[in-house]
Structure 1
Amino acid sequence: MTTADRFRSAVDSRDLASLGELFTEDVRLNSPVKFAPFEGKAMVLALFGVLLRTFEDFRYVGRLDGTAEAGAPETAATPTEAAEAAESAEDPASVLVFRATVNGKQIHGIDLLHLDADERIKGITVMVRPQSAVQALGEAVLAGLVADGLVPTS
């Protein structure tokens, strides 16, 4: 069973412990609703806890496997770091296509899983459409993060 298969199975069964076994300690999740990534296994797992409660009728509907750049130029501190990240070797990657509903809004999206040499997930990039769904998702996730004490109320 591949890492993508195990990830999908863990999400389908809402099994945070199994998800945690797939992540590196320094995993980063790039969200469609937040510029800075969620960083570290504890924070990414907490976010998944919120997501699994937030999505209604979540289901994966497709999968693609290949490679993707390992770096994240958009979060590099300097132009040199951005260039180095863009030139870095490509790592194995899988794209899981999903559909779901959040607060009555239909969502189409992808989870791009970036894997390390040991086939553990070191990065996840989530993309969602349409814009109204991104807004609904952002509001629902923020409410969940606040309710769980993961971000301050403001």
Structure 2
Amino acid sequence: MLTTETKLHPKALDSLNRWHRLVEEKNMDELDAILHPDAVFRSPMAFKGYASAPAVKLVLGTVIQVFENFAYHRSFAGDDGHSIVLEFSADVGGKSLKGIDMIRFDDDGKIVDFEVMVRPLNGLQALGAEMGARLGHLLPAYKGAG
């Protein structure tokens, strides 16, 4: 584990370690165990978030299949003990991208907010096109979280 992660609350750190395992295995079946029921996913393609644990699981379970050559590189823990930023890189549709996952945990170590930012624009566009093709018909039902 990276040293900045030791600033995390112990339950948040346990969930983060589980998250890393799920990503490594490309299997989100156990994601429910670390998601708060009211978790929100904030997409780099949309202003409003997608609300509820099922929405977060749907998006993360899909994107982990879309990404090729996915790898985390660095992490930055917030002073509150409940927030972490994970820097990553991946390829989508022949485009390379870099991004960050900003994850906030509650006192029980459950993910309450998962926000993603991606660059450059052509990588974001490739990601948006692929995710839209797979989930565009499903995501409107979850739209609207501030």
Common fold: TM-score over 0.5: yes
1:78 corresponds to:
none
Shift of 1:2: 2.7
The runs of 5 or more residues in structure 2 that have no matched partner are: 1-12, 141-146
Matches within 5 A, 1:1-154: 2-67=14-79, 92-146=82-136, 149-151=137-139
Q: Check the 8 A contact 1:29/1:44 in 2, yes or no.
A: yes
Residue in structure 1 matched with residue 3 of structure 2 by the alignment: none
Off by >2 Å, runs of 4+ in structure 1: none
Q: Distance in 2 between matches of 1:91 and 1:135?
A: 33
In 2, distance between residues paired with 1:145 and 1:52?
A: 13
Distance 1:11 1:40 in 2: 20
User: Which whole-Å deviations, capped at 9, do the CAs of 1:105-148 have from their partners, x for residues lacking one?
Assistant: 111011111011111110011011111111111111001114xx
Cα-to-partner distance string for 1:21-65 (whole Å, 9 max, x where unaligned): 110000001110111111101111111122022111111112121
| Contact 1:25 1:41 survives alignment (8 Å) | yes
Q: Tell me the SS of whatever aligns to 2:70.
A: strand
> Which protein has greater RCO, CA pairs closer than 8 Å, 6+ apart?
2
Structure 1 distance, partners of 2:47, 2:73, is: 27
AA matched with 2:138: L
Contact in 2 for aligned 1:93/1:112 (Cα 8 Å)? yes
List runs of 5+ in structure 1 lacking aligned partners. Answer: 68-89
Work out the percentage of aligned pairs sharing the same amino acid.
31
Between the two proteins, the alignment pairs up a number of residues equal to 128
